[in-house]
Amino acid sequence: GQSLEQPSEVTAVEGAIVQINCTYQTSGFYGLSWYQQHDGGAPTFLSYNALDGLEETGRFSSFLSRSDSYGYLLLQELQMKDSASYFCAVRGGGSNYQLIWGAGTKLIIKP
Amino acid sequence: DVKVTQSSRYLVKRTGEKVFLECVQDMDHENMFWYRQDPGLGLRLIYFSYDVKMKEKGDIPEGYSVSREKKERFSLILESASTNQTSMYLCASSARVSEAFFGQGTRLTVV
């Protein structure tokens, strides 16, 4: 079957750096996306990696290693507003229109 | 700004009722999706549509149907609501599969 694994919860301190990992097992692979969802809110798109390496967007970076079927989201200079759930999603094999989603990582930030 | 609008934030329906969830997007996107989100399970795809009048089953289509008569509107129908369909329902649209835009969600409770 196809699956994505990410930790269910991560705790970090305000101002610190945190990394959220995602490993995937899919029948095909086109790219890895990351989404943020605040409690009661809609998921919002953060980043997409189709090729190996690091993509940086402000305080957030996303990394992909296709040979290891692994990626991570790196959040720097953590702020309280970064407390949210973070989902990885893979555009994989099968239908060209589907994303396969991880179960989400709840990021708890302490002052 | 891309806007995806779901008709209701909260709904309470009785078992056996026919339920309509409406979703409208304003970005002329080809692709539209219906997901349900349950704690610990992430997002699960119910149905998606890549063009007007076109639809494809996702991972959990049983008990649901959809309608896409116009490009901007994608409706999810629960033919006969059951208590196990109590969930958060999220509509999304996209031009690229990697980047989806979500509505605020409809929290449906079936009693």
Of the candidates A15, A7, A34, which has an alpha carbon nearest to the alpha carbon of residue A81?
A15
Q: What is the 3-state secondary structure (H, E, C) of chain A?
A: CCEEECCCEEEEECCCCEEEEEEEECCCEEEEEEEEECCCCCCEEEEEECCCEEEEECCEEEEEECCCCEEEEEECCCCHHHCEEEEEEEEECCCCCCEEECCCEEEEEEC
Q: What pLDDT does A2 receive?
A: 79
Q: What pLDDT does A100 receive?
A: 87
Higher pLDDT pick, A4 / B40: A4
B95 has a chain A CB within 8 A of its CB? no
Q: List CB contacts (< 8 A) between A104 and chain B.
A: 42
Asked whether the predicted pLDDT for residue B39 surpasses 90, the reply is no
* Predicted confidence (pLDDT) per residue in B54-68, tens digit: 999 998 999 999 999
**What are φ and ψ of residue B74, in 5° steps?**
-135, 120
Question: For residues B84 and B24, what is the distance between their CA atoms, to the nearest angstrom?
Answer: 26
Q: List CB contacts (< 8 A) between A89 and chain B.
A: 43
Mean pLDDT of chain B: 93
Q: What pLDDT does A95 receive?
A: 59
H or E element, residue B73: strand B73-78
Asked whether the predicted pLDDT for residue B2 surpasses 80, the reply is no
Which chain B residue has its CA at the smallest distance from A38's CA?
B104
What's the burial of A29, exposed, middle or buried (CB within 10 Å: 0-12/13-18/19+)?
middle
* Predicted confidence (pLDDT) per residue in B72-104, tens digit: 999 999 999 999 999 999 999 998 877 899 999
Of the candidates A105, A20, A104, which has an alpha carbon nearest to the alpha carbon of residue A70?
A20
A103·B41 Cβ contact <8 A: yes
* Predicted confidence (pLDDT) per residue in A59-100, tens digit: 999 999 999 999 999 999 999 999 999 999 998 765 556 788
B98·A95 Cβ contact <8 A: no
Asked whether the predicted pLDDT for residue B23 surpasses 80, the reply is yes
A91·B31 Cβ contact <8 A: no
* Predicted confidence (pLDDT) per residue in B96-107, tens digit: 877 899 999 999
* Predicted confidence (pLDDT) per residue in A19-71, tens digit: 999 999 988 888 999 999 999 899 999 999 999 999 998 999 999 999 999 99
